[in-house]
Amino acid sequence: MNNYISLASLSMDLKRAALGYYGNSKEMAECFYQEALRRKEEIDIKSVSPYLVNLLDKVDQLKKVNGNLEKAEIAHTLSILFQNAAVTLANNQK
């Protein structure tokens, strides 16, 4: 269940970052993006599927993207994918 909480929190942090990028509130977006990076480190890489490991790598790559709109779209997409992963993980552990 530990990865569930971390994945769900990562999803919410990325969603908040995306909202900041969409709204041109770069300071807020960067704050939540930094929180997402910290959440990413909480996830036990050895216990998640390779597809999620690939997505976790994309969280780091987000800082290299230029343009708020592109960052927002990537952060929002990743947010949805991590949310789906968290829900799937929770359903499989019941």
pLDDT per residue as tens, the chain (94 positions): 579 999 999 999 999 999 999 999 999 999 999 999 999 999 999 999 999 999 999 999 999 999 999 999 999 999 999 999 999 988 987 6
Torsion (CA) 86, 70, 32, 24 in degrees, nearest 10: -140
The residue type found at 94 is K
pTM recorded for the entire structure: 0.93
Return the closest-CA partner of residue 78 out of 21, 23, 2, 1: 21
Rounded Cα distance between 16 and 79, Å, is: 9
Rounded Cα distance between 87 and 65, Å, is 28
